[in-house]
Amino acid sequence: MSDTTDAKPQSKAVFVKSYGCQMNVYDSQRMADVMGAEGYREVATPEEADLILLNTCHIRERAAEKVYHELGRIRELKQTAKSEGRKVLIGVAGCVAQAEGEEIVKRAKYVDLVVGPQSYHRLPDLVARAGIQPGVVDTEFPVEDKFAKLPKPAEAKARSRGISAFVTVQEGCDKFCTFCVVPYTRGAEVSRPVTAIIAEVEALAEAGVREVSLLGQNVNAYHGEGPNGGEWTLARLLRRLAEVPGILRLRYTTSHPSEMSDDLIEAHRDLGALMPSLHLPVQSGSNRILAAMNRKHDRDSYFRTIDRLRAARPDIAFSSDFIIGFPGETDADFEDTMELIRQVGFAAAYSFKYSIRPGTPGAEMDGQIDEAVKTERLYAVQALITSQQRAFQQSLVGQTIEVLFERAGRKFGQQVGRSPYLSPVQVMAPSSLAGRIERIRIIGTETNSLNGELVDPISARAVQAAE
């Protein structure tokens, strides 16, 4: 008989599925970090997990129904595990959790815990409680700062998930756009202290990250406390992060047009590490609809901001968001949006039909648009944006651009990286280029990517020799 007295209990496993925005991706990673500190290893499939967390988003249409549909599938995994003598806990996190709260455990009684986006630092305690008495719900807006309670970068071992990483610097929103649930699910604007952000970015750089994207619901409204107690703007934070050894590229999203300050525009002019790619949601090209949306900017101020940014950084490219068929949108309003798209020229954009979000002012507005009309308008917008995206991609053919390489491609000898504009770029190279920036001549385009060739093959050979 073998001696099992020294056998260690097998660690538990957590699976986190993230929906929606990049901030949710970051939150999911930090939830995995939190549970990792409790001995949970992160796994790639729910079938392997003892704890399954759905980190949900409430922005898209029928978001809650999609979550319940997914829960139905996961319920079967839980039942299978129980028949095998294993206990699996199911948790719903994020914005749908915040919006639905107790309703989730009433409707799906097999859900063990529900946790809002401001409380995931409490996950270990919530999981422990749910293991004893299922149906735990925490959707409060706690007084304590959740970031202060999360594992420090060293404690989380600054787990790199590739060459690029997200870092949340700001949460919540005070804008109260009439279509948006964020102020109700994420709360008021809160900015993280500068020292905490610097420490996290330094730890990521040490772990091999070379590109950092700063995240916030209203990121360019960042106003975090500096090391000496003064308030820092996003521009000042970006300038400091550009000095972190190992960090080669910086990005930030999502921005509000009314928060594009002079110092932030100057940062685009001065910082080579700040990429010439900016997501600047406009939502509509009609002043009347923008006012109804409570957007706090108009089309002319948006044009002026675009012009100022292009003057500061001539190679900058823009992406945006558009909501089509907002209540009261006339044919003339829609044409204003089409004209704005034509005038700006976007490298990419996201466009969606307006859908009612219960609890928002837009849900109570008169003049709801017929679905068929919204669909027709959406197709027109998407066709125009697609043509602009293709034109932008084609304009890069023949140019030499810098590409940050991330990984090997599907083909033998192929390396894949990202352009300054976030486009995937594929090249053939004699060895791995991951983590390096190389000058690449663009020789062709595909639907959503670029093909290129090394301008200086010697640099690639040098990598091979070094290896």
Peptide bond into 56 cis (omega under 30): no
Name the CATH code of domain 400-466 (choices 2.40.50.140, 3.30.420.40, 3.30.160.250, 2.50.20.10). Answer: 2.40.50.140
Q: Class for domain 277-395, per CATH?
A: alpha beta
pLDDT digit string, tens, across residues 121-143: 888 889 999 888 888 888 776 54
Q: Class for domain 13-138, per CATH?
A: alpha beta
**Please, are residues 179 and 354 in contact by the beta-carbon 8 Å criterion?**
yes
Indicate if 277-395 has the same CATH topology as 152-275. yes
Residue 142: the pLDDT is 59
- Is 180 known as a binding-site position? yes
- Is 21 known as a binding-site position? yes
Positions in the chain short of pLDDT 70: 1-10, 59-63, 141-161, 457-467
Nearest to 56, CA basis, from 127, 116, 131: 116
Would you list the DSSP string of 36-79? HTTTPEE-SSGGG-SEEEEEE--SSTTHHHHHHHHHHHHHHHHH
Which whole-number Å values give the CA distances from 432 to 402, 417, 428, in the listed order?
16, 11, 10
Angle at 160 between CA 171 and CA 416, to 5 degrees: 105
- Cα atoms in the 13 Å half-sphere on the side-chain side of 320: 27
Alpha carbon distance 102, 99 (integer Å): 9
- Is 389 known as a binding-site position? no
Question: What is residue 442's three-state secondary structure?
Answer: strand
Query: Fold for domain 152-275?
Result: Transcription Regulator spoIIAA (3.30.750)
pTM of the model: 0.81
DSSP state of 122: G
- Is 235 known as a binding-site position? no
Residue 147: the pLDDT is 62
Alpha carbon distance 324, 176 (integer Å): 19
Residue 211: the pLDDT is 97
Q: In 163-227, at which residue ranges do the beta strands (DSSP E only) sit?
A: 164-168, 170-171, 190-191, 211-215, 223-225
- Is 248 known as a binding-site position? no
- Structural domain spans, the chain: 13-138, 152-275, 277-395, 400-466
Element (H, E) at 352: strand 348-353
Helix segments in 86-233, DSSP class H: 94-100, 102-107, 123-132, 146-149, 182-185, 194-206
Query: What does the chain come to in residues?
Result: 467
Residue 310 corresponds to which tokens in the numbers above? Answer: 């292009």
- Is 57 known as a binding-site position? yes
